[in-house]
Structure 1
């Protein structure tokens, strides 16, 4: 009940004044309840951001996210050989581009759903045909934008399978350039997609020009993915993946092939990328502060606020703690953050104050 009350309060207080009703022919279709349920089950934090968006933006962004999660699920189904997953990702990409028979999605759904132990991931794979049906209902410009961002994300998943597809051996990215490319493919491209969609759907979106917002969005997205990488370093090593560059590990005296790495030796490398993640979250807050509609400003700032808190938890635990367990923000803290966003109407000054607070672990 407390969760519902906090969410209801935040939605009411962040709601912008109602614009004049649009003619019936221009009103966007409501999000299907099944789509919202799927979104909430696979990512509660992104679901919160989606709910803050204007109606015309919710459907294309939500569908893009669900299909991106589906490609991630395909890539991560380690019970299947890497070659088979790579083949299915090619088929998935053909479906996104409209170059495969629609019935192929049924094959992917039927093949991958039984391997999902997580019930939410299982439900997503079962609903994959419906997700493609929802995508097909988008307008031409939105459909092109969704296809473009999914092409980048799926390419990132394909690289993951190629590099880390055989968990019996551990592999590492080779250079900072490979890490930068990966974070752009799976997250920086999402920031650019979000920005282009907002400029298209919201005529008075930002105080900054589109080119500058795209630069900040790219950096912001890459920073969020770095936070994920730094948070999941222990789990990734156990699964045979290391996203930290091999030559940096070697310079620190760490063998990339070691599943159990010396935390003290690895610390300088980890700290370097932690610092860069913080800088890129700072870009995210510059981005959010430039957004004019307050609900979209809140939605844009929320990932940076959560990311700042995650970085604070990582600093408090240290690398050894991050390798031992996955840090996670408490749900009551998320509720408190949403309520503060609501009470302050997500003003730029209040967002800056909350960002500092989150970064200090408060």
Structure 2
């Protein structure tokens, strides 16, 4: 899965220490913060299975074990690795289907690497690996149900499309290509080989519609956050502004080869955190 790299953490197994996620979640009250790190830890662990270089059959079996463990959690006899989740599930009303959707999303990369999915499949992938995470998260933030689901829909897709646009070369190096088939055809690219596509001079034509799509999702998310309490949307707003800035840097750099890596500098990250987290 294309996304941020996590660092080890003795308290949660995994964290996003040093990332936008970590910064955004640190401003939350303790119970909310712990619940969010549980969500993150779960995502990180299943993502690590999908991204490992182990045999595909073993990875599929490991993901299936996570499904069984989630079922056990909701049946009242959680396995050891999910025992700490019991209180959060009860307090915040996490839905079993969202955890399972995340596993399903990670699994989309396992039977075979994703290569040039059609737009419907790409949208399903974004829903499972990003918006499903959002549907869990908005319960922690305390948003009203309808707006929470809408925010998860739009912000999750905005973040994941930005990841895809940022990680074209990184994904190609491991045999994956998330750019949509329709965009490749329209740009006159016939190959679906990730390395061949990444080197094609027509890649910017494929990326432009995805940039527009991501911007639209960011705008929709902003509208939802604007009509909710500032306290409830502090963390998602930080994530939105961070990734929106990344998208702007990608557009300014362009998508033609050679594509230099894009990263928001520390001063810009701190400015976003101070503006939207504290002021």
TM-score (normalizing by structure 1): 0.66
Let me know the Cα RMSD of the aligned residues: 2.7
Please identify which structure carries the higher helix content. Answer: 1
Per-residue CA deviation, residues 11-37 of structure 1 (Å, 9 max, x unaligned), is xxxxxxxxxxxxxxxxxxxxxx94368
- Work out whether residues 141 and 233 of structure 2, in 8 Å CA contact, stay in contact via their aligned partners in 1: no
Per-residue CA deviation, residues 255-288 of structure 1 (Å, 9 max, x unaligned), is 1125133443122211100111111111222232
Higher relative contact order (CA 8 A, sep 6+): 1
Once residues 116 and 70 of structure 2 are traced to their aligned partners in structure 1, the CA distance between those partners, rounded to angstroms, is 27
Report the alpha carbon displacement of residue 173 of structure 1 after superposing the two structures with TM.
Answer: 3.5
Which residue, 55, 59, 76 being the options, matches 1:85?
59
| Mapped pair 1:75 → 2:47 | no
Q: Superposition pairs for residues 1-362 of structure 1, below 5 Å?
A: 34-35=10-11, 38-41=14-17, 44-78=19-53, 80-98=54-72, 131-140=81-90, 142=92, 145=94, 147-164=96-113, 171-199=114-142, 205=143, 210-254=145-189, 255-261=191-197, 262-294=199-231, 296-320=232-256, 324-341=259-276, 345=279
Once residues 195 and 342 of structure 1 are traced to their aligned partners in structure 2, the CA distance between those partners, rounded to angstroms, is 16
Q: How many residues align?
A: 266
- Work out whether residues 96 and 147 of structure 1, in 8 Å CA contact, stay in contact via their aligned partners in 2: yes
Once residues 277 and 22 of structure 2 are traced to their aligned partners in structure 1, the CA distance between those partners, rounded to angstroms, is 16
Once residues 140 and 238 of structure 1 are traced to their aligned partners in structure 2, the CA distance between those partners, rounded to angstroms, is 42
Once residues 266 and 39 of structure 2 are traced to their aligned partners in structure 1, the CA distance between those partners, rounded to angstroms, is 25
**Structure 1: which 5+ residue stretches go unaligned?**
1-32, 106-128, 165-170, 200-204, 346-362
Deviates more, 1:282-291 or 1:86-95: 282-291
- Work out whether residues 75 and 158 of structure 1, in 8 Å CA contact, stay in contact via their aligned partners in 2: yes
Once residues 177 and 39 of structure 1 are traced to their aligned partners in structure 2, the CA distance between those partners, rounded to angstroms, is 31
- Work out whether residues 263 and 319 of structure 1, in 8 Å CA contact, stay in contact via their aligned partners in 2: no
Q: What's the counterpart of residue 108 of structure 1?
A: none
- Work out whether residues 70 and 99 of structure 2, in 8 Å CA contact, stay in contact via their aligned partners in 1: yes
TM-score (normalizing by structure 2): 0.84
Report the alpha carbon displacement of residue 300 of structure 1 after superposing the two structures with TM.
Answer: 1.9
Per-residue CA deviation, residues 177-200 of structure 1 (Å, 9 max, x unaligned), is 00000000011122222223434x
- Work out whether residues 27 and 277 of structure 2, in 8 Å CA contact, stay in contact via their aligned partners in 1: no
